[in-house]
Structure 1
Amino acid sequence: MNKSLIFIPLLFLAACGDQKSSQEETESTGYMKTVYAQCNNPDILEVETTIDGYIEVEYLCEGKRYEVGILDDEMLFLESNASQTEVPFGKIKEKLSKKYEGWKLEEFSKVKTNDTSYIKVEIFKEGIEQNIYFTNDGEKYKVKTPNKDHHIDYAAIEESESFQVENYNFYQPDSIYEMPDILREISGITRSDHNSVYAIQDELGVIFEYNFDQRKITQTIRFTDVGDFEDIARMDDLLYVLRSDGNIFVNNLKTKTLAFERMIQTNSLDIEGLFYQNDSLYLVCKGPSFDKPESSRMIYKTSANRFIKPTPYLEIKIPELRKYISEHYPEINSVNLQFNPSAIARHPITGSLFILSAEDQMISIYQNKKLINVIPLSPEVYYKPEGLEFHENGDLLISTEGDKKGINMASIFYLKYR
């Protein structure tokens, strides 16, 4: 008994010693070197790896809060709290009152990068928070997205034959429509007419009609409460909304009511993409199916009227995508490519099937169920692309979610077919 009592503390002390040694080693290498370059004795509050692939470290230095962004052990930005007296408060307040009526000012921060500095303003309204950015003299400022793939030469990709053959200016969209705050998590779009789209967002059971000419939401149709809604498709006067578990809500546009809902059973738990064509619905799964290898993603097909058990339509083979990328885009390291689809649509002129992956920021293109092309999307343009839709003339719409920081605004990009 006494032996056990002595032995346990010894183990505990040894473990603590190893932990301290490991901690000291971590702090003396990697991203902590960047933190120490800004503050000799930081009190670390939080360390987080963002969706963009860089590290954020929040810390206190001499009682003041800082946040530093780090990529490849280099500082991207350094943010610190600021008071109203340190910023052009009157000018900023005047600009915000015009576009953000009813929003309340919450906090000011000064942000410094390697080549510039600017002001971040946090505002909120009815539980929604948003960040707005200004220059040091109070003018509106557009922040560049920290790019985890900064080593990739997208200019070279843009000039490649594989990229050019699709006849879209992917890196310079013809029009960009910033979404209102309620659509920050826009997850799917389908065409209403040439000047408007129906859109959904992740969390609310509401269909939004957005008009491009007026640049605003012109209609809402509520069909249920909260959920995880991933895509939307249209057949005449019916709108199909897909929930990630396979439940489809069918809405009548004439009566603006929920007609019915059906559960579609597939061999995957996470269904992200949906589109309609010729009385059929096509569903694309984000993750692997139970009866398929981990390195494949399935597209299923079912009747849009009878909702019979869906049948396999196309198998997306990730090794095939990796091979294509390594052969046609040597600038991209495709070893870790997962290709988890987020949207699907068919080109009305060529008949090609476009499949979008938000996580990989990439479109794979299939003709007659065979892979014919891959288009890497620049993360500086497309933050988290979740939606695809075509106009009848071949013009392409891509929707992307925004981030909570307000650096990347939720948007719909309009690309003309050339």
Structure 2
Amino acid sequence: MLLTAAADYDAATSVNSLWLLVAAALVLLMTPGVAFFYGGMVKAKSVISMMMMSFGAMALVGVLWVLYGYGLAFGTPLIPGIVGNPFDGSIGLTSLLGLGEGGAMDPDLPGLAFAGFQATFAIITVALISGAIADRAKFGAWIVFAAIWVTLVYFPVAFMVFNLAEGWAPVWGVNDFAGGTAVHINAGAAALALALVLGKRVGFQKGIQKPHNVPLTLLGAALLWFGWFGFNAGSEAAVDGVAAIAWINTLAAPAAAILGWLIVEKIKDGKPTAIGAASGAVAGLVAITPACNILTPFWAIVLGILAGAVCAIAIDLKFKLGFDDSLDVVGIHLVGGLIGTLYIGIFGAGIGLIDTGSFEQLWKQFAAAFVVMVYSFVMAFAIGWIIQKTMGFRITNEDEVAGVDTIVHGEEGYALETV
């Protein structure tokens, strides 16, 4: 069946929609970027498992978004301020399946472009969580967790934060331009919960787990940074000055964060590392995400240095506090997201403490971050705990030592012939 003739759109609408579609493709590329970034840091016998969790998120969340996720996140309010109606005929299930008036078979260019763009945010948020449970999670249990968590946590949180007309956070005045709360704090809190549910890896201690493929991680960081320009600048949904400042800040903050991370690493461990540079870039990208529309490039650089330095210190908290966040999702995404979100309340142009002399915006930013963090942690812990007690979430210690790739997937990342 062919689509009906497209409506006549003015040039600005067409250009803005084209940019949104391009940005969506950039953001979708970030999830394979996460797969490479995480994949290089795990054991050689866990790389397939690690990357499959990201690709599994792409498959699962992509389908759920079309079926009902878009309606939950952007439909007419089912619970005012909290969640939308998945069966909204103009934006929910029937629309994207092409069953309702004004749906996919009578395409609305800006609406469908926006739906595609937001789908990629849902996908990568789920993928980010997987780094906390590397080397020891069952793939089937991960998929079950992802389906439940994205439905009960991400889709409602996206409504609360990204639905500018109906979500309680933007209506109240919270500034989260591209997902400091909805993506990074959300994923980081869930990662902490799952790390606690699954427990520590065999032999967990500082220095015992070495990245098996540093170039793979650097490739992942490069893909993430490349895609992040669509993540941040695309969130304006228009080709204008706000998109441009978001783009510049997405360059400046992670660049500065690399320096901040490497300086701390040199002081703390004596050597700046490639993994540190990659992690610093991601920490800066996380921190600038909620603030890229509201900071001057100078304050973006300051934020980047701060985020890189603080996250470089924060990743060691897992050893002091006794939780095994395998790939530092908590130290980078939760901590970096909190820094970027709260930073707006102090340095945000026209709304922060520096410009207004008021703590009002800082309070709003804190409240939004706290609500999302607590809600995501509690829900993720409950979902993960139930899965662990029923079908089992973690593989056995024996299987972990043997290698999760061969045990769960029957494959090896590096099938080298022996002579």
Do the structures match in fold with TM over 0.5? Answer: no
In our comparison, the structure showing a higher alpha carbon Rg is 1
User: Under a length normalisation based on structure 1, what TM-score does the superposition of the two structures give?
Assistant: 0.27
